[in-house]
Structure formats: C-alpha cells, structure tokens
Structure 1
Amino acid sequence: MHDGVQPVADADEAPARPRRKGIYILPNLFTLAALFGGFYGIVMAMNGRFEQAAIGIFCAMVLDSLDGRVARMTNTQSTFGEQMDSLSDMVSFGAAPALIVYEWALKGLGKLGWIAAFVYCSCAALRLARFNTNLGVVDKRFFQGLPSPAAAALVMGFIWLMDDSGFKVALTGDWLRWTAFGFAMYAGLTMVTNVPFYSFKDVSFKRSVPFIVIVAIALGIAVINIHAPSVLFGVFCIYGLSGYVVYVWKRMKGRPVSVIATSMDEPDEEGLHR
C-alpha cells in the first residue's frame, strides 16, 4: 500500500507521445484525382489542346461530386478532407478555368482580358471562402450564388463547344474573344451573388425510385453521347440562369429569397443575409 501517495514516474521514462491522426485514403483519392483534372486542364491549354483541357475540368467536376458522398457513405469525413477539397476546388474550378480561358481567347484583349480572368479567379476564391464560413447557416437545398464547379462548366463548356465546332479565335476575330469575356465575367460575378441555386443535396441515393427514373437516366446518358459539348453546355447554361429565375419568381410571390437559414451575430456577415 502507498497510503494515498501516487507513485513518482521514473525520471528516465519518456512522456507518452500523443497518437497521430491518420488520413482517410478513399475520399482523398477522389479529391486528388479532381485536383489532377484541373492541373491537367492547365497543361493541355498551355499546349493548345483546349478540348482536352475542357474534358479535364469536367472530369474534375465528376470526381469532386463523388468525394463528399464517398466520405459520408464510408463514414470517413474529416477536417483535413474538407480543407483538401476546398483547395482542390480553388485550383480546378478557380485558377484552371481562368488560365485556360485567358490562354484560349482573353489574352488577345490586352489588359481587359487578364482583368476578366482575374475577376473570375478572385470570385471563385471569395465564393469558396464564403461557402466555408456560412456552411452551418445556409439552407442545404440551395447554394448561395453559382457553385464554382458549375461556373467552371459554363466557361469550359463554351470553350469545348467552340473548339469542337471549328471556331478558332485567330480566324473568327474579336466576337469570340468578347463572348468569352462575357462568359468569364458572368460566371465569376454570379458566384458571389446571393442568388439561390438548387443544390440537389436533398436527393437521396439510398431511397428506392420508380423504374421510370432509371430509364430517364439511361436516356440522359444516351443524349449526352450524341454530342457531349453541346448537350453539357446547354445543361449548364440552363442551370446558370435558373438561380435568377428562382430569385425573380420568389420576389414576385413575396417569398424570402435569402438562403441563410439563421442569423449570425458578427457585424461583418450582415451583408450576406440580405
């Protein structure tokens, strides 16, 4: 017996080291693959292969949509994964589309060209930062502003369609440069608006669906394969306008248009909730 006296640790005994936290492999593999898609797009654009650049960004979109779902399905969510996903999105859907559209058309506009590319890139960064800070207070059914993957698809879909149709900037003149300028500015600025865009996050893949839904998915895949550039570009054009349609419709019905579910006390966040 020690009469209540705690034994003294041996002076030579080293203190126990805290156990290191590991990194989940599966969801981060999808995130790294999405990051590679953005990097691949930049490299292809530097070599003048813009169709491959667009395909790289669209592949990054698919992979980005899977990493979060895989993490939730396998119960492997982590703070590291969230931060990694944001950094990957900034490269694949922020910096990469800005650099690709600049290399494709905007550099022919001089300072206005690189300003448009910078506006897009900076708006993507601002949109991702706002998304991360407002994650707990935004209505999950809607995005606050155009999501960065959709903005990238809008710009890259236009490049892919024009390149596939044989329209070359060097041969068509300034109208193609100015159209690319308009798409870059629209996509960039729409990312930082408060316009609500449907997020599809309330769609559950665990619930049973009618047989006709599977048939519709098969038909959708078939339609995309008819001419992928035009179909994908058309789909994202519709989505890129849908938020403004919802905004106007809610205004006309007198319904609230903000996607902020609860108020925040920080004065710096006041402008986000109007």
Structure 2
Amino acid sequence: MAGPFQRFEPHGHGGPRIREIPLRLVLPNLITVLAICAGLSGIRLAFENRFETAVMMVLIAAFLDGIDGRLARMLKATSKFGAQMDSLADIVNFGVAPALVLYAYLLDRAGSPGWIAALLFAIACGLRLARFNVLDEDKTRPAWQGEYFVGVPAPAGAVVVLLPVYLLFIGAVEPSRTAAFIASGFTVLVAFLLVSRLPVWSGKRLRVPGDSVMPMILGVVFCALLLFIYPWETLTVGVIAYLVFLPLSARAYSRRSVAETAKDERPPVENAG
C-alpha cells in the first residue's frame, strides 16, 4: 500500500544533480531577495506610522533592484531563473511598495481618489515592466534607439512618485486634504509617464573622457554626501531636475530620429572609377 506522500518525480526527465554553485551565480539573486525584503519592510513601517524609515526602505529596495541585473551581467551570472525573479521583484519594489507607502502617508486623506491614484500607479508600473521585457527581446529595433527608454523607467518612477512625501518631510508642504488631492493628480501623472511612449535617454552608452574621470568621481562623492546628510532636500532637487530633463530628452530623440532618417534615405555614393 502506497504511503500518503509519494516520491516527487523531477521535471525534465531528471538531469544531473547540481552539487555546487559558484557564489557569483547566487549573489545577484540574493540581492534581489534583499530588495524584496526592503520593499515589504517599507510597507510594514508605513502601516506603523514610521514614514521616514519606510520611505528610506523603499528607496533602498529600488536601488538594490536596479543594480542586481547589472551585477549579474558584470559577473556573467545571468540566468533565466534570475531574470524571472527580477521581473517579479520589480513590480513589488517599484510599483506596490511606493504606492502603498504614499497612500498610507498622504493619499488616504483624499479618500477613494487617492486609492485610485495609488492603484493606477502600481498597475502602470506592471505594464511598464512588461513592455520593457518585450522590447528587450526585440532585435529589430535600430541600434541607436537602444540608447533610450520607452517611457519613464520603473526605478525612476518609484523615486519620482514620492516627491510629495519629500516635500512634506522638509516642511515645504503641509499635510492636508488639498495636498492629498494634488498628490493624487501627480501620482496619476507619473503613472501616465510610465506607460507613455516618451523617449527617455538611458545613458547606457555614455563614455567618460579620460581627463574627466577624477572630477566625475569627486562629483559622485559630493552628491552621495549630500544625499546622506540632506536626503529629502537632495531627493527633491533631483526629482525636479529629472522632470525638467524629460522634455529635453524627447527633443534630443526627435532630432536624432530626423538625422537617422535622413542618413537612411541618402542615396549611396557611386564610384567614379
């Protein structure tokens, strides 16, 4: 008579048993898991009214979730499992966690419109991530278009949508029902930017001249110190600068598109000989 627990048959007709896995293959997935823990902890802290720590945890989650893929490529540790896990983590850290923290801190004062705004942002983030995965597999796109994101990327959206919280933390805005309605409108605007066709320069192929490396390092250190000492003021200025950058990016894309189209339509030069 068979016991209550039958032996589990492995998928894929068995296969070799993996006994040892290099640490470099595990590290990106570990960072992804830590990012999920940070995002979910941010939600819990928001429910406990520890909002500054909650926002910081959400930002840490967005940072970790933004570097795990790059770290995997750097270590040559990419895998299908890691890619799927990263996609699932992105919706939590870039969509659900910022939306819930923002709602718990401010948008709930607006009632149902605030909740609708939070839902729209989380859904828009999911749609944005799905489109990114599809475009990432499209090999027919011109190479120069790979320098631009289609719509605001999800990590940037997670940081930008919390702008009302930064303003409240520095005392620039008073928490009120009116502020909640304005923040709800801003949240819907960010959701629209996520799913829009707005071209956003990615900086993936940016090359730094050799004589500018040292000043660049000094500038990065300076910005990091500002972020550490004056986090909410620095984030406020950074988000406003990013919003100003978006139309400039779209104009640069339009000019590049015209130039590339003219180059493709230019007739080939015939050899005189």
Give 1:21-170 correspondences, 5 Å limit. Answer: 24-137=25-138, 139-165=145-171, 169=175
Q: Is 2:183 aligned against 1:180?
A: yes
**One-letter code aligned to 1:66:** I
TM-score of the two chains, using structure 1 as the length reference: 0.77
Give the corresponding residue for 2:3.
none
2:201–2:249 CA contact under 8 A, matched in 1? no
> How far off its partner does 1:103 sit?
1.4
Among all aligned residue pairs of Structure 1 and Structure 2, give the percentage whose two residues are the same amino acid. 31
Give 1:222-241 correspondences, 5 Å limit. Answer: 222-241=225-244
1:38–1:56 CA contact under 8 A, matched in 2? yes
> How far off its partner does 1:183 sit?
2.2
Q: Output the CA distance in 2 between the equivalents of 1:40 and 1:94.
A: 14
SS at match of 1:93: helix
SS at match of 1:75: coil
**One-letter code aligned to 2:69:** G
Give the corresponding residue for 1:255.
257
Change (3 A) 1:200 1:100: same
Q: Output the CA distance in 2 between the equivalents of 1:32 and 1:255.
A: 39
**One-letter code aligned to 2:204:** K
Change (3 A) 1:248 1:199: closer
Tell me the number of residue pairs that the alignment of Structure 1 and Structure 2 aligns.
238
Q: Is 2:217 aligned against 1:217?
A: no
**One-letter code aligned to 1:165:** G
**One-letter code aligned to 1:71:** A
Change (3 A) 1:112 1:216: same
> How far off its partner does 1:110 sit?
2.2
1:143–1:199 CA contact under 8 A, matched in 2? yes
2:66–2:155 CA contact under 8 A, matched in 1? no
Q: Output the CA distance in 2 between the equivalents of 1:242 and 1:224.
A: 20
Q: Deviations over 1:62-113 (max 9, x none)?
A: 2122211211121100111111111111001111111111112222222211
> How far off its partner does 1:19 sit?
2.6
SS at match of 2:205: coil
Q: Deviations over 1:190-243 (max 9, x none)?
A: 0000111122222479x8963222222222223323411111122123223422
**One-letter code aligned to 1:153:** V
Change (3 A) 1:208 1:141: farther
> How far off its partner does 1:182 sit?
2.3
**One-letter code aligned to 2:132:** F
Change (3 A) 1:246 1:204: closer
1:145–1:191 CA contact under 8 A, matched in 2? yes
Q: Output the CA distance in 1 between the equivalents of 2:256 and 2:82.
A: 40
Change (3 A) 1:73 1:208: farther
SS at match of 1:200: coil
SS at match of 1:140: helix
**One-letter code aligned to 2:14:** R
Q: Output the CA distance in 1 between the equivalents of 2:174 and 2:40.
A: 23
> How far off its partner does 1:61 sit?
2.1
Q: Output the CA distance in 2 between the equivalents of 1:194 and 1:142.
A: 11
What's the Cα RMSD here?
Answer: 2.7
